[in-house]
């Protein structure tokens, strides 16, 4: 006997939020139509959809620019963040000496230092990337360092009993132990890289061929092209969701055989 | 420390009475010598005071005592996992500097299975060999197969630890200890978290492996029954400060069958050890020293 769709967990996981989304969109459309709200105040979902189609070319180019900065920043944050964590676990002294500076980067608002970075770094793409890295790197450093330190003390004792090298301890014990923490950091950091890229674009206000989605939002606001503004906003949101979903997928693939966070528990 | 010989309530009547009593062969070479070991932690807690213990080849010794009496600390010191404040530890009558990590030929089984959850059983079992850079030769693979076979985990080598029961995880942990072919096996309350039936079964398995392989075992436990059933000697420890207060020989032949558990001799030894434990828990508590 086939199981009803409503009892299918995967189906419910996708269908339930989708249904809420469709309901909100329909309600939004009907409200705008019923009260005859002007486009420049609140555009209807249909208006936004039309803008997505008609302004596709400019929006797509802006999306590519934002994605370029986001991915660059995310990749750099991962590489530098992991390298910093590996350095921190080598010695308590190194961690004590350097970790406060990692916190400093986290607590300094990027909007406050973005103008300086834009002045110091000539190339706009790299200036935006540096800003996004500053926003995205802390969760990687913090989570990975915590993971590298959170090894089973008995396993560590066993490694020490065999007088293993630091390299063996790192590769065979610390790095696998840290994976769940690292992937947790990736989930947070991927979203922050996008936020960092968008915030930096707002501050830089870069137009022309290097215009990202944030610039598109600013420009559309000045020109009262509110549907286009919403369309750009939707692209940012969808990008953020896709990035998060990609991180969840990667994490599940890597941990599905052993870690509680990725195990499918049958009740 | 006194060495007490217990007279059983009745002479052992079993047909196994001809079997050898493993009490460390007379004149057998000491595998491990702990001499006057004191262990004081940074906060001043005296974990061990004047611990003296010689473990001879072929012995099965249980360390028994209340919580906080330093059993695990002593075992970790035997494994070279903890620094001593004063005193010496020798393996095969040699210092660590001479005998080296491999030369000690020891393996450690922890309170929990302590398996790497991300690695399959086979990879877990081969870990000590990998750490010793043993390579991937046929001989190495055979050692792993044999170890898995001996603990009854043949066919589970591609499973992840989470797919095994608690008892099977402990078996995997024992297989990991066996794979290095140790002469000295240190076991820190390995079956404490298991149910009674699994624990009894694993006790029998460990005894069989000990006899078949000619190991020397030092076994930490809270259980008087487990200590008496398994051991050729039960070393009783007291707390605050942690110290050895009694050393009781269990002069019963091996192999020991489940019948031994219901024998009058077993009951006699259990009473003897329990009384020693009782004395240990009341004698000379030096709270001031523990707190200093």
Instruction: Say which residue the tokens 């007379």 belong to.
Output: B26
In a domain, A9, yes or no: no
Give the number of other CB atoms < 10 A from CB of residue A146: 16
Chain A residues within 8 Å of chain B (Cβ atoms): 152, 154-155, 157-164, 168, 172-173, 176, 179, 257-259, 263
β partners of residue B233: B61, B249
Read out DSSP for B152-216?
T-TT-TTS-GGGS-HHHHHHHHHHHHHTT--SEEEEESTTTTS-HHHHHHHHHHHHHHHHHHT-E
Average pLDDT, chain B: 85
Mean pLDDT along residues A57-75: 96
B151, two tokens: 């603990």
Domain end, chosen from B134, B165, B181, is at B181
With respect to residue B110, please indicate whether it lies within any of the assigned structural domains: no
Tell me: do B281 and B174 sit in the same domain. Answer: no
Rounded-to-integer distance, Cα B63 and Cα A96, Å: 41
Task: Give the B window 147-186 contacts with A, CB below 8 Å.
Answer: 160-162
Q: What's the complex ipTM? A: 0.81
**DSSP SS3 for B33:** strand
What is the three-class DSSP state of A266? coil
Instruction: Note whether residue A192 is domain-resident.
Output: yes
- Please give the span between the terminal C-alpha atoms of chain A, in angstroms, as a whole number: 20
Answer whether residue A157 is part of any domain.
yes
CATH no. for residue A220? 1.10.3720.10
For the stretch A4-45, pLDDT in tens is: 777 888 888 889 999 999 999 999 999 999 999 999 999 999
**Whether the Cβ atoms of residue A59 and residue A50 lie closer than 8 Å to each other:** no
**A161 closest CB neighbour out of B108, B117, B162:** B108
- Taking only the tens place, the pLDDT of each residue in A39-61 is 999 999 999 999 999 999 999 99
**B255 and B174 within one domain:** no
Place of tokens 């419910």: A12
Range of the domain at A168: 46-262
Decide if B114 touches A, using CB distance below 8 A.
Answer: yes
Strand B233-238 to B243-249 pairing = antiparallel
Gap between the Cα atoms of A176 and A155, Å rounded? 12
Full-model pTM:
0.84
Q: Count of domains in chain B?
A: 2
- Res. B148: pLDDT tops 90: yes
Nearest CA in chain B to A161: B81
Chain B nearest-CA distance from A137, in A, is 26
**B79 touching A, CB under 8 A?**
yes
Residue count of chain A: 267
Mean pLDDT of B133-140: 88
Do B189 and B78 lie in a common domain?
Answer: yes
Does A258 contact B161 at a Cβ distance shorter than 8 Å? yes
Question: Best mutation site among B102, B111, B114 for testing chain A: the one with the most A CBs within 10 Å?
Answer: B114
Q: Is B221 exposed, middle or buried (0-12, 13-18, 19+ CB in 10 A)?
A: buried
Residue with tokens 């339930």: A16
B122: chain A residues, CB-CB within 8 Å: none
| Last-in-domain residue among B181, B212, B238 | B181
Q: Supply the CATH number for residue B199's domain.
A: 3.40.50.300
CA atoms of B268 and B88, how far apart (whole Å) = 35
- pLDDT for the residue A7: 81
| Residues whose CB is less than 8 angstroms from the CB of residue A62 and which lie 6 or more positions away in sequence, other chains included | A211, A212, A213, A215, A216, A232, A235
Task: Indicate yes or no: CB of A154 within 8 angstroms of CB of B101.
Answer: no
Nearest to A155 among B81, B114, B160 (CB): B114
- Tell me: do B171 and B75 sit in the same domain: no
Say which residue the tokens 């020490």 belong to.
Answer: A160
Residue B81 touches chain A, beta carbons under 8 Å: yes
Structure token digits, residue B243: 């110290």
Structure tokens at A8: 């299918």
Print the domain residue range for B252: 3-13+24-105+183-291
| B contacts of A157 (beta carbons < 8 Å) | 76, 79, 81, 108, 110
Q: Which two tokens stand for residue B81?
A: 């996992």
B231-243 burial code (b ≥16 CB/10 A, e <16): bbbbbbbbbbbbb
Chain B residues with CB-CB distance to A163 below 8 A: 101
Is the residue at B18 inside a domain? no
**Confidence class for position B2, pLDDT limits 50, 70, 90:** very low
* Residue B163 pLDDT exceeds 50: yes
Find the closest chain B residue to A163 by CA distance.
B101
Residues of B within 8 A of A179 (CB-CB) are 118
Is B9 in the same domain as B68? yes
CA distance linking residue B240 with residue B289, whole number of Å: 7
Query: Does B130 sit within 8 Å of A155, measured CB to CB?
Result: no
- Say how far apart CA A23 and CA A17 lie, in whole Å: 10
Give every CB contact of residue A26 below 8 A, 6+ residues apart in sequence.
none
A contact test, residue of B77, B118, B159 with most A CBs within 10 A: B118
Quickly state the pLDDT bin for A267 (edges 50, 70, 90). low
Cβ neighbours of B117 in A, within 8 Å: 258-259
On whether residue A144 sits in a domain, the answer given is yes
Residue B237 and residue B68: Cα distance in Å, rounded?
Answer: 10
Closest to A184 in 3D by CA, of A251, A253, A112: A251
Contact B119/A at CB under 8 A = yes
Final residue of a structural domain among B181, B200, B231: B181
Task: Look at residue B13 in the predicted model and tell me its pLDDT.
Answer: 32
CB atoms within 10 A of CB B158: 10
Hey, are the CB atoms on B112 and A154 less than 8 Å from each other? yes
Q: Is B290 on the interface with A (CB under 8 A)?
A: no
- Check pLDDT > 70 for residue B159: yes
A155 backbone φψ class: left, alpha, beta (φ>0; ψ -120 to 50)? alpha
What pLDDT, in 10s, does the model give residues A176-197?
999 999 999 999 999 999 999 9
List pLDDT tens digits, range A197-254.
Answer: 999 999 887 766 678 999 999 999 999 999 999 999 999 999 999 999 999 999 999 9
pLDDT tens-digit map of A153-162: 999 999 988 8
Number of domains comprising chain A: 1
Residue A133, helix vs strand vs coil: helix
| Distance of residue A253 Cα from the nearest chain B Cα, in angstroms | 13
Instruction: Tell me the pLDDT band of B20, cut-offs 50, 70 and 90.
Output: very low
How much of chain B, in percent, has pLDDT values that exceed 90? 58
Which residues in chain B have their CB less than 8 angstroms from residue A164's CB?
131
Query: A162 and B128: CB-CB below 8 Å?
Result: yes
| Contact of A145 with A214, CB cutoff 8 Å | no
Q: Is a pLDDT exceeding 60 seen at residue B6?
A: no
CB pairs under 8 A between A and B: 49
Does any CB of chain A come closer than 8 Å to the CB of residue B1?
no
Q: Which of A163, A168, A263 sits opposite B101 (nearest CB)?
A: A163
B64 and B144 within one domain: no
Q: Which residue has the higher pLDDT, A185 or B95?
A: A185
Model pLDDT, residue B288 = 41
A13 domain-assigned:
no
In 3D space, the residue among A107, A106, A84 whose CA is nearest the CA of residue A97 turns out to be: A84
């Amino acid at each position: 006997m086939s199981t009803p769709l409503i009892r299918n967990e995967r189906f419910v996981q996708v269908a339930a939020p989708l249904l809420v989304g469709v309901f909100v969109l329909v309600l939004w459309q009907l409200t705008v139509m019923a009260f005859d709200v002007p486009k420049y105040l609140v555009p209807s979902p249909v208006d936004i959809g039309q803008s997505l189609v008609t302004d596709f070319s400019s929006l797509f180019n802006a999306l590519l620019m934002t994605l370029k900065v986001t991915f660059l920043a995310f990749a750099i944050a991962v590489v530098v963040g992991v390298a910093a964590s590996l350095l921190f676990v080598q010695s308590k002294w190194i961690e004590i000496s350097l970790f406060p500076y990692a916190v400093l980067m986290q607590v300094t608002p990027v909007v406050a230092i973005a103008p300086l970075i834009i002045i110091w770094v000539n190339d706009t793409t790299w200036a935006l990337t540096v800003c996004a890295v500053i926003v995205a790197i802390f969760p990687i450093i913090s989570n990975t360092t915590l993971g590298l330190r959170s090894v089973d003390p008995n396993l560590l004792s066993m490694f020490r009993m065999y007088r293993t090298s630091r390299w063996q301890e790192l590769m065979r014990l610390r790095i696998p132990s840290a994976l769940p923490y690292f992937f947790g950091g990736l989930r947070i950091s991927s979203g922050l890289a996008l936020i960092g890229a968008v915030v930096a674009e707002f501050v830089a206000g870069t137009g022309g061929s290097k215009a990202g989605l944030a610039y598109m939002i600013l420009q559309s606001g000045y020109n009262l092209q509110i549907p286009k503004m919403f369309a750009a906003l939707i692209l940012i949101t969808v990008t953020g969701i896709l990035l998060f979903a990609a991180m969840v997928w990667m994490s599940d693939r890597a941990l599905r055989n052993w870690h509680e966070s990725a195990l499918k528990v049958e009740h | 420390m006194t060495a007490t010989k217990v007279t059983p309530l009745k002479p052992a009547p079993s047909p196994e009475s001809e079997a050898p009593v493993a009490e460390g062969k007379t004149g057998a070479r000491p595998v491990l010598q702990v001499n006057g070991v004191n262990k004081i932690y940074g906060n001043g807690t005296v974990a061990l005071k004047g611990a003296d213990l010689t473990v001879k080849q072929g012995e099965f010794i249980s360390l028994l005592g209340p919580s906080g009496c330093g059993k695990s600390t002593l075992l970790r010191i035997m494994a070279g996992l903890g620094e001593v404040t004063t005193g010496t530890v020798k393996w095969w009558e040699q210092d660590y500097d001479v005998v080296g990590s491999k030369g000690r030929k020891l393996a450690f089984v922890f309170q929990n299975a302590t398996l790497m959850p991300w690695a399959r059983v086979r990879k877990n079992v081969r870990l000590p060999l990998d750490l010793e850079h043993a390579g991937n030769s046929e001989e190495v693979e055979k050692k792993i197969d044999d170890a898995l076979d001996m603990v009854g985990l043949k066919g589970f080598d591609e499973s992840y630890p989470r797919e095994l029961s608690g008892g099977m995880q402990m078996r995997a942990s024992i297989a990991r200890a066996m794979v290095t072919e140790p002469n000295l096996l240190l076991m820190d309350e390995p079956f404490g978290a298991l149910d009674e039936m699994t624990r009894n079964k694993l006790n029998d398995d460990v005894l069989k492996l000990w006899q078949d392989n000619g190991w020397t075992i030092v076994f930490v436990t809270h259980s008087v029954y487990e200590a008496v059933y398994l051991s050729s000697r039960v070393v009783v420890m007291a707390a605050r400060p942690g110290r050895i207060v009694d050393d009781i020989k269990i002069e019963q032949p091996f192999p020991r069958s489940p019948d031994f558990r219901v024998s009058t001799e077993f009951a006699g030894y259990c009473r003897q050890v329990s009384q020693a434990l009782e004395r240990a828990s009341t004698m000379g508590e030096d709270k001031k020293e523990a707190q200093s």
